[in-house]
Amino acid sequence: MICREAQTRKADKNMSGNALKDTKKLQASFVPPTPSAPDTAQEHSETANQKHIRSIADEITEKTFQNVSLCYQCGKCSAGCPVRFYMEVAPNKIVRLIQLGLYEEALNSNTPWLCAGCLTCSTRCPNSFDLAKFMDAVREVALEKGVEVGERDILNFHKAFLDQIKHHGRSYEVGLVADYKMRTLNLLQDVDSAPGMFVKGKLSVLPHNVKDKKSVKEIFEKTSIKKNQTPL
Amino acid sequence: MRFGYYPGCSQTGTAKEYDISLRKVIGKLGVSFDELDDWSCCGATSAHVTNHKLANALAMRNIALAGTQGIDNVVAPCAACYNRLVLSQYETMHHPEIKAETEELLSAKFTQDIKVMNVLELFMKIGLGKIIDNRKHELSDLNVACYYGCLLVRPAEITKFDDAEQPVSMEKIVEATGAKTVDWNYRVECCGAAHSIARRDIVIDLSKKIIDDAVDNGANVMVVACPMCHTNLDMRQRAMKRVYPGHKEFPVLYLSELIGLSLGMNEKELGIDLHYIDFKYDGNILKNTVA
Amino acid sequence: MKIGVFICHCGENISRTVDCPRVAHFCEGLPGVEYSIDYKYMCSDPGQKMIKDAIHEHKLDAIVVGSCSPNMHERTFRNAAVSAGINPFLVEIANLREHCSWVHDDVEAATEKAIELVRMAIEKVKRDKPLTKIKVPVTKRVLVIGGGIAGIQAALDVANAGYEVVLVEREPSIGGHMSQLSETFPTLDCSQCILTPRMVEVYQHPKIKLLTYSEVVKVEGFIGNFKATIKKKARHINEDLCSGCGLCITKCPTKKKAYNSFEEDLAFRPAIYVPFPQAVPNIPVIDETVCMYYKNGKCGMCVKVCDREAIDFEQKDTMLVADIGAIIVATGYKLYNIDKKTFDSKYKGYGEYGYGKYRDVIDGLQFERIASASGPTAGEIKRPSDGKEPKKIVFIQCVGSRDPSKGISYCSKICCMYTAKHAMLYKHKVHDGEAYVFYMDIRAGGKMYDEFVRRAIEEDQVKYIRGRVSRIYEENGKYIVKGEDTIAGVPVEIDADLVVLATAMIPHDNAPTLAQTIGIPYDRHGFFNEAHPKLRPVESTTAGVFLAGACQSPKDIPESVSMASAAASKAMILFASDTLEREPVVAKVNEDLCAGCFYCKKVCPFGAIEVKDITDVNGIVYKEVAYINQGVCQGCGTCTATCLSKSIELAGFNNEEIFAEIAAL
């Protein structure tokens, strides 16, 4: 139904030339193969694959091993989300946007970045949809596509943290904070807790290194995200 | 009893006292740790929220180390490390394609499941009787709010340890020290965890709610089993006072510290003096103590 | 023998992949085939006429029809053959649709296969013998299991048609869940007021034998000839003597010893009790687990006050056996509860809603009792914990239902309606109260149903919030309900005084046990299976056993009543003749060859095989052989395959016929 509606709208737009600016153009990512009665099952699936346009929803499914259509939009995830109040878009709506193929809206929002990964939603989901895992994949796709991230500070923190791991194998708080501050230019944030931590001997001036630093660095190199695989 | 030990990065820094107290307490209970040699960071939140392959590989590097070092059960005292290790191992062992990919990446072979335990499982395994037998103080004047946080018991189908919504194990352990536990509402709510630095405002709000509910339900101390929770609930209270001027300081202890107190160790030994919110225990001493 | 072959195109269903004219043409030349033709719709009137005409014209002895599954039209073609004077068992069906055209794409290969299938049928029909249907007598008495509204309706319908009914109810009174309800949707008429007259009618009906506090423990036999064993549990009251005065109940010293299950545990009852004032029969029961007499042998207050000497502490459970012709199962449902479940349970509880630890988080039936004029609060809306009138009430739909992660995937169907009713009743009684309903979808399909829900929203100002609730916890005597309005996209939190959960309808715990006792199939949830989801909704797959009400799937009252009447009419169709005709496809033992090993008896899934003594002229037993009760045998053929001495033959499928079919392939 969605598919047909979208086509009609497209046709309307083509004719009049000025469709409403806020009309969402929906597109089905899956074009069913024509019933040309192929001979074997194998050929059948090949035909289907050729017609299949790999969408972001598919990429997410591949990363998470779960069907995005599992979510039936009850909203229990959003209802229990501890950081819901700070989000621009409710978590269940992110799933909905992905289901509808409205990727830009989903990927641009700050919601995935605010998700704390606490698993409350995944634990309570009535249809056993692991939303936390889904959010991981959404963020990953956003990075792959080079989308403008809604919460730059949070991303910078993650980058700073992972930099420490990459170079030392373990987290090094002083380096982390310095790196984070350089990235965010948020020089005054958190200065109140750091001196206390030094006094209490919690922060060491030197990094904690693993012996086999090379092996950790290698993991980072081998798994690094390839940007801009396909445009959004 | 010997267990493998994966301290996690926090134990070497911000949660030093957790590491100190845990090692001392289990020593008193006749248990020792074999620290995983050359362990590395589990990837923590930052890895899994940005790159699932990286997250998986970083965690599995440690599982592989355990395998080669002949350790078949590993205690991960940090709830976040525990959760990452358990989930990554589950994913790897349940998806042949991930397993093959990770094995190639790490040049390792995963043949069997390494049992990853959190600190609650550890004490349950050691046995509550051991704590009761060895305790010098009955901490009966403490009304403890047991705070599990989000990752310690989730997802229950995979961690297979305690109920995800109404867990009971920490209460059982705390009650073994003679302390009382309170029934409260925020036992498994999230404190904001990884947003501690980048979105301190969120963390302060969430942590404030958690502390307030504990106080409202009659707790005079909170016990946690996660360095991230502790950072947010203890260290952030200073900033909390600035945002919520009426906020009263509330002590937050690690589970191992509480047990340590009941076993007769003092605050300094256990590293409680490293906390931002002071805690002094001057409770009763068991009458029939063994010297 | 002259055989006619008729190949059906089934519109395009068969002819799309099978070249039907070619099949018909090929068969023309086969030995024994006198006539062969194809046609677009063989099952249609003209198609059947074609068959009949051909039988007359070509003097055919037997026919083969290449068509859809015999499940679909075997009877049609047999009837056509019979009307043209051929024995119905000289008709063979070659399944060219389900077994061929629907499962293949290649026209050439499918046509070849179709020819093979028809050839097999021709070889079999050559060896088929004319058979006549078996006649068995019918006991014209119905056993109705369950005395809720479905069971009551079925019993009354059958009894009013003049047949005898045995109505068995597990509880001390009939009435079921309907007797617990306050008012019913969408008319808001009082449930008790419309139900009680029917309960009394059942009690007084001369054709109905009512057995309350009883359970069916064994069912033997077959359609028209069942034998049911019913356990009548000891009430410890002599039913013939008791006048129902109730003095024993008021004098019993164990005033509040047990939870009153009729009041959904919101009230207490003594050891001797009737479940509710309008109970039928109005005869008490003594609960042995609570009664002082059974605890320490003392008390006996009830004995002292009963001037009819009806109390009988020594009464024992008794077993009754009844001959039955048809069974109507109407055992109803129970509500899922949110309590913590054991590890191996097929359901999970709701820890996020407190696992049932909050006293003011109740279920729908509890709210019915609170809203009922005869309930523990005499119809005043008061919450269980402190008896205060709730000023803010939250209803949550789909608790358990549509929640595969808790173990229940289906929609319980009635909750949308009763929740609207609850909210409405509340608003009618507490004018300044606020009522909120959390829902996922509103499913109000039914006459005047959607209008009813709209009335709750528009006239009674009930606030409907679309979203599932994530958590409930207690804070200062209020219940904090955390939800999200997914329409507005805003998180909502309500500090409610009372929370009512519309929990899922599930089958009774012992539903599978009863199903096994009767021999009917049930689904993974424990609901009994109908024979066909669309065309045979009130029959079970076991002949003579019918289903009514929520034991088959969640249902509301009108649906249960309709189903009960339908089941009753099915039973009465059975009783319309004195004997039953059964398919003659049954196994028969060649007694000369039978070695008496009785392997067949062990493997028979229907218990149709008995031991028969063979005696000589002097009446002395010299041999034991197997005997197959033709009334019970379902013609499955298991015994035939097991028999070592090849002495059992299945009529219509004997070895010669089967081998001929295989040889033709």
Instruction: Work out how many domains chain A is built from and give that number.
Output: 2
Clarify whether residues A119 and A176 are in a common domain: no
pLDDT interval class at A8 (50, 70, 90): very low
Task: Write the CB contacts of C108 (distance below 8 Å, at least 6 apart in sequence).
Answer: none
Tens-digit pLDDT profile for residues B188-228: 999 988 888 889 999 999 999 999 999 999 999 999 999 99
Q: Please state, in angstroms and rounded to a whole number, the distance separating the CA atoms of residues B204 and A83.
A: 12
Average pLDDT over residues B37-64: 93
pTM higher than 0.90 for the full model?
no
pLDDT for A42 = 46
Which residues sit opposite C128 in a β-bridge? none
B chain contacts of residue C473, beta-carbon cutoff 8 Å: 185
CB-based contact B11:A170 (threshold 8 Å): no
What the block records as the tokens of C463 is: 């606030």
Average model confidence (pLDDT) across chain A: 78
Q: Please state, in angstroms and rounded to a whole number, the distance separating the CA atoms of residues C303 and C253.
A: 13
Residue type, B200: R
Q: Please state, in angstroms and rounded to a whole number, the distance separating the CA atoms of residues C125 and C92.
A: 6
By mean pLDDT, which of A190-199, C157-166, C408-417, C439-448 is the weakest? A190-199
Residue B119 has pLDDT above 60, yes or no: yes
- What H or E segment, with its residue span, contains residue C393? strand C392-399
CB contact under 8 A, C475 and B185: yes
| B234 DSSP assignment | I
Clarify whether residues A181 and A98 are in a common domain: no
CB contact under 8 A, A201 and B10: no
Last residue in a domain, options A128, A150, A172: A150
User: How is chain C split into domains, by residue range?
Assistant: 3-127, 141-233+317-333+507-575, 247-305, 334-506, 587-664
pLDDT for A89 = 94
Q: Which of C16, C12, C14 is nearest to C94 (CA)?
A: C14
By mean pLDDT, which of A42-56, B269-283, C94-108, C156-170 is the weakest? A42-56
B chain contacts of residue A170, beta-carbon cutoff 8 Å: 9, 12, 40-41
C chain contacts of residue B165, beta-carbon cutoff 8 Å: 350-352, 355
For domain B2-119, the CATH architecture is: Up-down Bundle (1.20)
Residue type, C353: Y
Q: Please state, in angstroms and rounded to a whole number, the distance separating the CA atoms of residues C92 and C78.
A: 9
**Cross-chain CB nearest to B165 (options C352, C475, C480):** C352
B chain contacts of residue C476, beta-carbon cutoff 8 Å: 216
2.60.40, 3.40.1700, 3.40.50, 1.20.1740: CATH of C3-127 = 3.40.50
- The residue among B197, B241, B278 with the most chain A CBs within 10 A of its CB, best to mutate, is B197
CB-based contact C313:C304 (threshold 8 Å): no
Interface check for A214 against chain B (CB to CB < 8 A): the answer is no
Q: Kindly report the nearest CA distance between residue A211 and chain C, in angstroms.
A: 44
Clarify whether residues A158 and A140 are in a common domain: no
Say how many C-beta atoms besides its own lie within 10 A of residue C235's C-beta: 22
Say how many C-beta atoms besides its own lie within 10 A of residue C415's C-beta: 27
Q: Which domain holds residue A167?
A: 152-223
pLDDT interval class at A11 (50, 70, 90): very low
pLDDT for C26 = 95
CB contact under 8 A, C470 and A76: yes
Which residues sit opposite C230 in a β-bridge? C216, C320
pLDDT for A38 = 45
C436 CB-contact burial (10 Å; exposed 0-12 / middle 13-18 / buried 19+): buried
pLDDT for A192 = 62
Q: Kindly report the nearest CA distance between residue C13 and chain A, in angstroms.
A: 15
CB-based contact A91:A106 (threshold 8 Å): no
Burial pattern B69-107, b for ≥16 Cβ within 10 A else e, equals: bebebbbbbbbbbbbbbbbbbbbbeeeeebbebbeebbe
Tens-digit pLDDT profile for residues C303-351: 999 999 999 999 999 999 999 999 999 999 999 999 999 888 999 999 9
Last residue in a domain, options A98, A133, A150: A150
Q: Please state, in angstroms and rounded to a whole number, the distance separating the CA atoms of residues C320 and C232.
A: 7
Task: Write the CB contacts of C437 (distance below 8 Å, at least 6 apart in sequence).
Answer: C394, C395, C396, C397, C419, C420, C423, C462, C463, C464, C465
C-alpha count within 13 angstroms, C-beta hemisphere, residue C36: 22
Tens-digit pLDDT profile for residues C21-62: 999 999 998 999 999 999 999 999 999 999 999 999 999 999
pLDDT interval class at A109 (50, 70, 90): very high
> Is A58 a member of any domain?
yes
CB contact under 8 A, B105 and A222: yes
pLDDT interval class at A198 (50, 70, 90): low
pLDDT for C88 = 95
CATH class of C334-506: alpha beta
Tens-digit pLDDT profile for residues C184-214: 999 999 999 999 999 999 999 999 999 999 9
> Is A113 a member of any domain?
yes
**Cross-chain CB nearest to C355 (options B166, B185, B213):** B166
| C537 DSSP assignment | T
pLDDT interval class at C182 (50, 70, 90): very high
Tens-digit pLDDT profile for residues C258-316: 999 999 999 999 999 999 999 999 999 999 999 999 988 889 999 999 999 999 999 99
CB-based contact C234:C317 (threshold 8 Å): yes
- The residue among C474, C476, C480 with the most chain B CBs within 10 A of its CB, best to mutate, is C474
CATH domain B136-274 topology: Rossmann fold (3.40.50)
> Is A131 a member of any domain?
yes
Residue A176 has pLDDT above 90, yes or no: no
pLDDT for B157 = 85
Q: Kindly report the nearest CA distance between residue A193 and chain C, in angstroms.
A: 33
Tens-digit pLDDT profile for residues C540-577: 988 899 999 999 999 999 999 999 999 999 999 999 99
Q: Dihedral (C-alpha) A87, A92, A93, A96: value to the nearest 10 degrees?
A: 150
Q: Dihedral (C-alpha) A34, A39, A40, A44: value to the nearest 10 degrees?
A: -10
Average model confidence (pLDDT) across chain C: 95
Closest chain B residue to C471, measured at CA: B165
CATH domain C587-664 topology: Alpha-Beta Plaits (3.30.70)
> Is A36 a member of any domain?
no
pLDDT interval class at A179 (50, 70, 90): confident
By mean pLDDT, which of B38-52, C410-424, C496-510, C555-569 is the weakest? B38-52
Average pLDDT over residues B259-264: 94
User: How is chain B split into domains, by residue range?
Assistant: 2-119, 136-274
C29 CB-contact burial (10 Å; exposed 0-12 / middle 13-18 / buried 19+): exposed
CB contact under 8 A, B216 and C475: yes
Residue C80 has pLDDT above 50, yes or no: yes
**What number is the ipTM of this complex?**
0.91
CB contact under 8 A, C468 and A74: yes
Clarify whether residues A69 and A136 are in a common domain: yes
Which residues sit opposite C403 in a β-bridge? C408
Residue C439 has pLDDT above 50, yes or no: yes
Residue B285 has pLDDT above 70, yes or no: no
Residue A195 has pLDDT above 70, yes or no: no
Residue B288 has pLDDT above 90, yes or no: no
Residue A48 has pLDDT above 60, yes or no: no
Q: Please state, in angstroms and rounded to a whole number, the distance separating the CA atoms of residues C427 and C454.
A: 14
Average model confidence (pLDDT) across chain B: 92
Q: Kindly report the nearest CA distance between residue A38 and chain B, in angstroms.
A: 30
Interface check for A82 against chain B (CB to CB < 8 A): the answer is yes
Q: Kindly report the nearest CA distance between residue A214 and chain B, in angstroms.
A: 12
Which residues sit opposite B93 in a β-bridge? none
Q: Please state, in angstroms and rounded to a whole number, the distance separating the CA atoms of residues B60 and B108.
A: 9
Q: Which of C498, C505, C616, C501 is nearest to C553 (CA)?
A: C505
Q: Please state, in angstroms and rounded to a whole number, the distance separating the CA atoms of residues B246 and B208.
A: 11
C chain contacts of residue A90, beta-carbon cutoff 8 Å: 484, 486, 489, 491
Tens-digit pLDDT profile for residues C463-480: 999 999 999 999 999 999
Q: What is the 3-state secondary structure (H, E, C) of C149-187?
A: HHHHHHHHHHHHCCCEEEEECCCCCCCHHHHHCCEECCC
Instruction: Report which of residues A53 and A63 the model is more confident about.
Output: A63
pLDDT for A171 = 86
> Is A7 a member of any domain?
no
**A-C Cβ pairs (cutoff 8 Å, strict):** 73
Phi, psi values for residue A28, rounded to 5°: -75, 135
Say how many C-beta atoms besides its own lie within 10 A of residue C131's C-beta: 16
Query: In angstroms, how far is the first alpha carbon of chain B from the final one?
Result: 24
Beta-strand runs (E) in C629-663: 648-650
Closest chain C residue to A75, measured at CA: C467
Average pLDDT over residues B62-68: 94
CB contact under 8 A, A126 and C402: yes
Maximum average pLDDT range among B272-281, C365-374, C656-665: C365-374
CATH domain C141-233+317-333+507-575 topology: FAD/NAD(P)-binding domain (3.50.50)
Average pLDDT over residues C93-121: 96
Clarify whether residues A112 and A137 are in a common domain: yes
Q: What angle do CA C359, C365, C366 make, to 5 degrees?
A: 30
- Using DSSP, state whether B290 is helix, strand or coil: coil
Query: In angstroms, how far is the first alpha carbon of chain A from the final one?
Result: 24
Q: Transcribe B132-176 into DSSP letters.
A: HHH-S---TT-EEEEE-TTTSS-SHHHH-SS-SSS--HHHHHHHH
**Bridging pattern class, strands C648-650 and C268-269:** unpaired
Q: Which of C106, C126, C130 is nearest to C118 (CA)?
A: C126
Clarify whether residues A131 and A93 are in a common domain: yes
Tens-digit pLDDT profile for residues C497-511: 999 999 999 999 999
CB contact under 8 A, A128 and C404: yes
Task: Write the CB contacts of B261 (distance below 8 Å, at least 6 apart in sequence).
Answer: B137, B139, B177, B267, B270, B281
CB contact under 8 A, C340 and B164: no
> Is A31 a member of any domain?
no
Please report, rounded to a whole number, the percentage of residues in chain C having pLDDT higher than 70. 100
Residue A39 has pLDDT above 80, yes or no: no
Residue A87 has pLDDT above 90, yes or no: yes
